[in-house]
């Protein structure tokens, strides 16, 4: 790819432009808000000048509801030889594109699965999609040239392509992103008016399950409204699990032993399915799930403790795969849980004990 146009130089468009420019592609930047395009250019993402002729690929990085309109304009102006978009939902834009009668032979839908909490070019990063999945949704008549241009774009951004049809994509993001967001918010909402003493008991479980409940509501209403029906379908399934679990819990209070056993069975069943679902989530770099083992170490709340711990693990030749910190409420100490390969646990435990660390359990 020698040249590309990016239409919509917000977070996503500018991040793509930065990645392409860094790999020597001539990038032409456009935005309805000229300041945004100029800001992107000043960051080194490309130029706001007009391209001398059709570019190899135009990336349409505007809100999902505007993709078809911008594609139609760009195709009419002969901006590029191939077109793609980056909208987080795929069925709506595809329907709009069909309704407008846009050409689809030189178009392929796309969705890079990376992002950030902030929008606009100033939040952009050239490595935003490094190692991330990038969904491509070809239309039935998408040409091989358009597919190849999109595959090259994905490679230049350091991402991993996955081909999916728009419906499957929208169901997938409802499952792995949109529904978890709402459920996290609902769990956290129970705390909004809870007693201060209850909230103070919060431990790592509630912290983990509510991390994304801090997201921006307006941004999320926009995201959810583009996939509302599919998310509502998934939530209906969740509601069935909730009803079964509530029924199970009520039965657990029964005087009748058989009912209690049935209740326990119902609760255990939903948890077992949860175990199964969780075990299917891919590990680092999209690799199949790896079972790491955890080693929990007590650390003092003072500067340099974490660095010393990581340094000691490094000295022992152990690769830390993941790390979590649990702060003890009201104490000058915390627990650091290091996830490592199972075979590394005894090595790491021995090395850390030798260097004076206290290990839990």
Ligand X SMILES: NC(=O)c1ccc[n+]([C@@H]2O[C@H](COP(=O)([O-])OP(=O)(O)OC[C@H]3O[C@@H](n4cnc5c(N)ncnc54)[C@H](O)[C@@H]3O)[C@@H](O)[C@H]2O)c1
Alpha carbon distance 147, 106 (integer Å): 8
Other beta carbons less than 10 A from residue 324's beta carbon: 14
Alpha carbon distance 106, 141 (integer Å): 8
Residue 79 or 87 having the CB closest to ligand X: 87
Query: Please, what is the minimum distance in Å from the beta carbon of residue 275 to ligand X?
Result: 30
**Residue ranges in contact with ligand X by CB under 6 A:** 7-13, 30-33, 36, 61-64, 66, 70, 86-88, 111-112, 115-116, 119-120
Query: Please, what is the minimum distance in Å from the beta carbon of residue 116 to ligand X?
Result: 6
Query: Please, what is the minimum distance in Å from the beta carbon of residue 169 to ligand X?
Result: 12
Which pair of tokens denotes residue 44? Answer: 């080194």
Contacts by 306-315, CB closer than 8 A, 24 or more apart: 306/336, 309/336, 309/338, 309/352, 309/357, 312/351, 312/352, 312/355, 312/357, 313/338, 313/340, 313/348, 313/351, 313/352, 315/351
Residue 112 or 263 having the CB closest to ligand X: 112
* In the complex, residue closest to ligand X by CB: 10
Residue 64 or 138 having the CB closest to ligand X: 64
Query: Please, what is the minimum distance in Å from the beta carbon of residue 12 to ligand X?
Result: 4
Query: Please, what is the minimum distance in Å from the beta carbon of residue 97 to ligand X?
Result: 14
What is the separation of C-alpha 96 from the centre of its chain, rounded to a whole number of angstroms? 25
Residue 60 or 266 having the CB closest to ligand X: 60
Residue 15 or 248 having the CB closest to ligand X: 15
Other beta carbons less than 10 A from residue 215's beta carbon: 14
């Amino acid at each position: 790819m020698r040249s590309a146009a990016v239409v919509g130089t917000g977070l996503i468009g500018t991040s793509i432009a930065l990645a392409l420019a860094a790999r020597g592609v001539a990038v032409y930047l456009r935005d309805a808000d000229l300041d945004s395009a100029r800001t992107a250019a000043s960051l080194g993402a490309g130029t706001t000048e007009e391209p001398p002729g059709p570019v190899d690929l135009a990336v349409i990085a505007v809100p999902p509801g505007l993709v078809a309109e911008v594609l139609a304009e760009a195709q009419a102006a002969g901006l590029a030889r191939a077109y793609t978009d980056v909208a987080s939902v795929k069925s709506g834009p595809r329907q709009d594109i069909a309704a407008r009668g846009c050409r689809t032979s030189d178009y392929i839908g796309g969705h890079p699965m990376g992002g950030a909490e902030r929008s606009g070019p100033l939040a952009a990063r050239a490595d935003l999609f490094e190692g991330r999945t990038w969904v491509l949704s070809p239309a039935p008549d998408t040409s091989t040239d358009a597919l190849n241009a999109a595959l090259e774009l994905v490679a230049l951004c350091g991402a991993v392509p996955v081909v999916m049809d728009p419906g499957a994509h929208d169901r997938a993001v409802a499952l792995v992103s949109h529904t978890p967001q709402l459920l996290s918010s609902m769990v956290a909402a129970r705390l909004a008016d809870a007693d201060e003493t209850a909230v103070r008991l919060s431990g790592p479980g509630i912290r983990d399950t509510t991390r994304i409940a801090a997201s921006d509501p307006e941004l999320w209403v926009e995201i959810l409204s583009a996939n509302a029906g599919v998310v509502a379908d998934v939530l209906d399934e969740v509601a069935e699990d909730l009803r079964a679990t509530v029924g199970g819990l009520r039965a657990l209070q029964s005087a009748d032993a058989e009912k209690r056993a049935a209740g326990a069975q119902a609760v255990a069943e939903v948890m077992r399915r949860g175990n199964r679902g969780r075990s299917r989530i891919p590990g680092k770099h999209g690799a199949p799930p790896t079972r790491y083992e955890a080693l929990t170490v007590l650390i003092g709340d003072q500067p340099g403790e974490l660095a010393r711990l990581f340094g000691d693990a490094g000295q022992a030749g152990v690769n830390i795969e993941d790390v979590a910190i649990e702060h003890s409420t009201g104490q000058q100490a915390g627990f650091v849980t290091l996830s490592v390969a199972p075979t590394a646990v005894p090595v790491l435990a021995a090395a850390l004990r030798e260097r004076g660390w206290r290990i839990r359990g």
